[in-house]
């Protein structure tokens, strides 16, 4: 599935992206998943809950079975 999000400026906080796209129900849940190593972005494991992404298209994998392509509008 593909989700298009309205980006706020040039960069956006990763837990907020995960919440707005529906991958998680809260930013707290997203932070917890990132810290536990359960989040991959474009095939690379992501461990920094304070990180941001620039505008673009990203493939998120959360856990074993949740995949989502996220694009910036």
Using H for helix, E for strand and C for coil, what is the string for 1-47?
Answer: CEEEECCCCCEEEHHHHHHHHCCCCCHHHHHHHHHCCCEEECCEECC
Supply the pLDDT for residue 65.
Answer: 92
Q: Could you give the CA distance from residue 43 to residue 22 in angstroms, rounded to a whole number? A: 19
Burial class (CB in 10 A: 0-12, 13-18, 19+), 49: middle
pLDDT at 8 over 90: no
What residue numbers bound the domain in which 54 lies? 2-72
Q: What is the CATH number of the domain that holds 7?
A: 3.10.290.10
Domain count, the chain: 1
What integer pLDDT is reported at residue 52 of this predicted model? 95
- pLDDT, position 27: 97
Compute and round to an integer the Cα radius of gyration of the chain.
Answer: 11
| This prediction's pTM | 0.91
Q: How confident is the model at residue 64 (pLDDT cuts 50, 70, 90)?
A: very high
pLDDT given at position 73: 84
For residue 13, is pLDDT > 90? yes
């Amino acid at each position: 599935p593909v989700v298009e999000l309205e980006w706020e400026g040039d960069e956006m906080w990763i837990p907020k992206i995960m919440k707005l796209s529906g991958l998680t129900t809260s930013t707290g849940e997203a932070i917890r998943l990132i810290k536990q190593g359960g989040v991959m972005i474009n095939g690379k494991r992501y461990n920094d809950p304070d990180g941001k992404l620039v505008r673009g298209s990203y493939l998120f994998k959360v856990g074993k079975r949740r995949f989502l392509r996220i694009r910036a509008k």
